[in-house]
Amino acid sequence: MITLIPAIDVRDGRVVRLKQGDYAQQTTYPADPLALAQQYARDGAHWLHLVDLDAARIGGFSLAGLIGRIKASTGLRIQAGGGIRSRTDIDALHAAGIDRIVIGTLALKAPELVRAAFDDFGPEALTLALDVRADEQGQWLCASHGWTETGLALDAAIALYIDAGLCHVLCTDIARDGVLSGYNLALYRHLRSRWPRLQVQASGGVSALSDVQAVAALGVSGAILGRALLEGRFTLSEALAC
């Protein structure tokens, strides 16, 4: 069964969404991050996806305090990331009680360091975040540093971690992110076919309950729900019910 994971992206302490990863195209929402997490818990969420957008751009994860407050006031399990640039950052997030540390840029730039973290914490404690764009030939390429740089191919990035025990991959089609055009089903169909044992989380573009149903039918393990929930296109309770 698919796990529905509401997302909260935080910038300057506020709940925001970026269009296609562009910091110049930001929508700010009135909800308080803690109150929103508590609402998602009341609506039936078991997991929360939390992103530090400031840190994703410049490094230095800054949401440990918020994570502590969410953990203290809800039963939510949290996967979180943004700005993880060193082993020290990984250790700090682990110490903050994050259930799954989401590692993006560092996984592409320092694979030996991240592989060591897999050895130390185990694959259940880490989620590999691969945010991708398609090139002119249709090949998926991973973006890093807050989606400002593009390089390694998607399958090559996954291959770096398969023998380290990689389980969880959160994959976002940047072109779909924040634009309410539906999940890129071809992307997740590819991942399910090429890497069938991975627990894949779909992200980017959901706008209707039919999008959730469509991606669930592919057999992905999780679906990230962001802007659609913030703008009331459907509620988490409605999504869980279907």
pLDDT band, very low/low/confident/very high, at 111 (cuts 50, 70, 90): very high
Backbone angles phi, psi at 114, to 5 degrees: -70, -35
pLDDT band, very low/low/confident/very high, at 148 (cuts 50, 70, 90): low
- Residue 107 and residue 115 in contact, taking contact as beta carbons nearer than 8 Å: no
Number of domains in the chain: 1
CATH classification at residue 89: 3.20.20.70
pLDDT band, very low/low/confident/very high, at 64 (cuts 50, 70, 90): confident
Name which of 6-15, 18-27, 123-132, 223-232 the model is least confident about. Answer: 18-27
- Is residue 129 exposed (0-12), middle (13-18) or buried (19+ Cβ within 10 Å)? buried
Q: Is 81 helix (H, G, I), strand (E, B) or coil?
A: strand
**pLDDT of 117 above 70:** yes
The active-site residue out of 9, 54, 89, 177 is 9
pLDDT band, very low/low/confident/very high, at 39 (cuts 50, 70, 90): very high
Determine the pLDDT at residue 209.
Answer: 96
Q: How far is CA 126 from CA 62, 65, 171, 212, in A?
A: 19, 20, 14, 24
Domain that holds residue 43: 3-241
Q: Active site includes 89?
A: no
CA distance 10 to 240: 24
**pLDDT of 107 above 60:** yes
The active-site residue out of 52, 89, 131, 173 is 131
Determine the pLDDT at residue 136.
Answer: 81
**pLDDT of 57 above 60:** yes
Question: How many angstroms from the chain centroid is the CA of residue 51?
Answer: 8
pLDDT band, very low/low/confident/very high, at 200 (cuts 50, 70, 90): very high
pLDDT band, very low/low/confident/very high, at 229 (cuts 50, 70, 90): very high
Q: Active site includes 131?
A: yes
Determine the pLDDT at residue 16.
Answer: 87
Tell me the one-letter amino acid at 229: L
pLDDT band, very low/low/confident/very high, at 189 (cuts 50, 70, 90): very high
